[in-house]
Structure 1
Amino acid sequence: MFKPIELFIGLRYTRAKRRNHFVSFISLTSMVGIALGVTALITVLSVMNGFETQLRERILGMVAHATVSERGAAISDWQSVLDQARQHPRVEGAAPFVNGEVMLTRGGNVSAAMVRGILPEHEGEVSDVVDHFVVGDIDRLVPGEYGIVLGSELASLLRVRVGDQVTVVSPEARMNVVGITPRVRRFTVEGIFNVGMYEYDRGIALVHMEDAARLFRTGDGVTGIRLKFDDLMAAPWLARELAADLPGTYSVRDWTVQHYNFFQAVRTEKTVMFVILTLIVAVAAFNIVSTLVMVVTDKQADIAILRTLGLSPGSVMGVFIVQGAVIGVVGTLLGVAGGISLALNVDTLVPAIERLMGIQFLPADVYHISELPSELRWNDVTRITGVALVLSLVATLYPAWRASRTAPAEALRYE
């Protein structure tokens, strides 16, 4: 006979007979429920992992890992600060910048934007924007020629192409014979970039730093110096370390200061989604309780006979734990297979569904990104698998204990 006896009988009870099709249907429902819950958990967590990664890469591709600034003033001696920052062994890149809010106009089209004055030869050290040009090139920003590079959404709103001119209106006023008027300067569009994040494609314009300094009248000073470290996640303590080395009133703000609440909200949402979807698995797992309770009731005579033949209460308990565990294991494995397959193909399935239904799940003007990313992490798969198996095992304990308490004489009285 198949050994151990608990495993043999437990596996035998998982096969349906003609008189207990309803029990088998409940077992199948429990198995499918666990599979769907595990699939949903793996897929949703993978999408949220991808969402967090994409946001971090795109945001930090524009805002840099840390920024050096002087409290309440422009940095006049920025070259020495730049050189000192580059001497830090963990700093991979540094570049000065001049920031200012402006109004861009072209014909009847008007839009507010943030103009960032940069040095084209150094921008690639701290930003990924140089790799996302649709038209033109960042090297076409030449001092004195008043060239400007626009995000794709901003260019589309203003209806401009490379070679067109846009009027930049600075909010800082100047006095002349007709009174107080804002400063106005015409810039020629030299390029269009698309970083894939609506906030930046819609609200950022790049010009040469010298042109920005003349526009905002910062003289030889700069708004700040952007830094890139060799380790993104080490930015908070590296920023504090660098701030301690810099003289004067300079401060160093890392990316977590500006975006900490946003990424914390994403992580919290991921945790909440894990808990909510785990409840689906829990409901399906505890369907095993009702399945095994009905099986125990149906098998009262069989249990009594096994007990009279010498099977211990612990072995009876093991029989029904095996039966419930089979349902949980099969459902979990099916869910893991389905979740992995779905998570690895989200980027192709979602666009196909959007084309088929004629809708867009993530409008770019509402969400930070317009594509549904997915990043499968094996530690998530392991954690989800473990939770599903534990819940399935826990669900078998009460029915199995109840079966072990069956009194042989009482069960066989009316047989």
Structure 2
Amino acid sequence: MHYQKFFPLLLATRFIRSSSNEKSLSLMIRVCFISILVATFALTLVAAIMNGFEKATHAKLKSIHADGTLTSRGHALDYSKLSQVLKQEFKDSILAASPVAFGQLLIKATTKHATPQLIALKGIDATLEAQVSTLHTMLLHSKPTWISSFSSHGLVIGNELAQQLGVTLGDTVILLLPEDDQVESTKITLSTKEATITNIFKTGINEFDEHVAYCSLDFFKQLFNTGITQVNLALADHKNENLVLQALTKRLGLEAYSWKDLYPALVSALTLEKYAMWVILTLVTIVASMNIVALLFMYITQKQRDIAILKAMGMHRSSLQLVFIILGMGITLTATT
């Protein structure tokens, strides 16, 4: 009885060994083996590359942004009350929060024919910001430290912006911003303020390194009177970040978004590209698998006499089918492993 259970396996092994004496079948088996091997290798390689690229891109973008952000779209926020609500009602979901003030201005070097550059200036609390993002790890200069870089008139700018302005650590730059109460005026008067480059960061994203600068909240208040308009958040559970952000929006009445919402086209493109590659590779694998089917049909055609003898000896049809299934699976598993 035990012999009968393993008979299809033994017969399939016998067929494979006997095929080495038949050149056409031997060549067909090699072609099937190589095609499945190449398809499996391509599938594994592309999947690893795509996953690695997606993770690297997400890590790069996530490093310069917080997990989540609350924004009032220009209206000043009462951060002290807001932080109390976050600590009391969302203490399990939010690890840290950092206030941000946002404004736009022109910046230029002190040279005579310097060209002003439009930038986004963010006023932050350096200590709290280090808890919600990793921007403090991207400074090009170890001294001064991240905290010390936010002095009274200190400015931390991107590497691309520093190159365009032709400035380096310790240089003075001029900030140009419109004065208040110019709504009805036909002319815009710009006030000037000097700042010192206290550090330079490099994220590797040119758009960010070229158009964003940071300063302390105290220095920001000297330039703008808009107050705190954003709060950056470090979330405890990244898998349920959408649920947390929805709960924040419902409770606080503020817009809440994640770093992925800032780059919807890029995130969608990466996802679509990943799916497209999987479809293409699946088709390649199917084509390679068709070789196995063709091989089995060829094998059955050439083994018709042997099959007839086995059926005459009382072998069941299901057992014969199992022989060729084992034969195909053996070639496939050998190639894929």
Q: Work out whether the TM-score is over 0.5.
A: yes
Tell me, yes or no, if the aligned pair for 1:66 and 1:254 is still in contact at 8 Å: yes
* Displacement after TM superposition at 1:284 (Å): 0.5
Residue aligning to 2:32: 30
Distance 1:64 1:24 in 2: 60
1:271 aligns with 2:275: yes
AA paired with 1:15? R
Q: Which runs of 5+ in 1 are unaligned?
A: 334-415
AA paired with 1:323? L
Q: Alpha-carbon deviations, 1:330-356, whole Å to 9, x = none? A: 1111xxxxxxxxxxxxxxxxxxxxxxx
1:314 aligns with 2:318: yes
Q: Secondary structure at the match of 2:256?
A: strand
* Displacement after TM superposition at 1:280 (Å): 1.0
- Aligned in 2, Cα 1:298/1:244: closer, same or farther, shift over 3 Å? closer
AA paired with 1:50? G
Q: Alpha-carbon deviations, 1:59-87, whole Å to 9, x = none? A: 33333222223355222x33222333233
Question: Which TM-score applies when normalising by structure 2?
Answer: 0.84
- Aligned in 2, Cα 1:128/1:325: closer, same or farther, shift over 3 Å? same
Distance 1:121 1:304 in 2: 83
Residue aligning to 1:215: 223
AA paired with 2:296? L
Q: Which runs of 5+ in 2 are unaligned?
A: none
AA paired with 1:114? A
Distance 2:233 2:290 in 1: 53
Q: Secondary structure at the match of 2:175?
A: strand
Q: Alpha-carbon deviations, 1:39-78, whole Å to 9, x = none? A: 2222222233233333333333333222223355222x33
Q: How does 1:55-134 map to 2 (within 5 A)?
A: 55-75=57-77, 77-87=78-88, 88-89=90-91, 90-106=93-109, 108=114, 111-134=117-140
Q: Secondary structure at the match of 2:156?
A: strand
Q: Alpha-carbon deviations, 1:109-129, whole Å to 9, x = none? A: 664432211111211121111
* Displacement after TM superposition at 1:171 (Å): 6.2
Question: Which TM-score applies when normalising by structure 1?
Answer: 0.69
* Larger mean Cα displacement after TM superposition, 32-41 or 258-267: 258-267
* Larger mean Cα displacement after TM superposition, 314-323 or 234-243: 234-243
Residue aligning to 1:231: 237
Distance 1:236 1:326 in 2: 46
Distance 2:251 2:75 in 1: 20
Residue aligning to 1:41: 43
Distance 2:222 2:18 in 1: 84
Residue aligning to 1:13: 15
Tell me, yes or no, if the aligned pair for 2:156 and 2:215 is still in contact at 8 Å: yes
Tell me, yes or no, if the aligned pair for 2:103 and 2:120 is still in contact at 8 Å: yes
Tell me, yes or no, if the aligned pair for 1:292 and 1:320 is still in contact at 8 Å: yes
- Aligned in 2, Cα 1:37/1:187: closer, same or farther, shift over 3 Å? farther
Q: Alpha-carbon deviations, 1:212-262, whole Å to 9, x = none? A: 2322342xx21222122211232222233334444xxx4041205444554
Tell me, yes or no, if the aligned pair for 1:93 and 1:126 is still in contact at 8 Å: yes
Tell me, yes or no, if the aligned pair for 1:82 and 1:225 is still in contact at 8 Å: no
1:182 aligns with 2:190: yes
1:160 aligns with 2:167: yes
- Percent sequence identity is 28
**Aligned residue pair count:** 324
AA paired with 2:139? F
Residue aligning to 1:140: 148
* Displacement after TM superposition at 1:174 (Å): 8.0
Distance 2:278 2:179 in 1: 50
Residue aligning to 1:366: none
Distance 2:175 2:106 in 1: 6
AA paired with 1:190? T
Q: Alpha-carbon deviations, 1:373-415, whole Å to 9, x = none? A: xxxxxxxxxxxxxxxxxxxxxxxxxxxxxxxxxxxxxxxxxxx
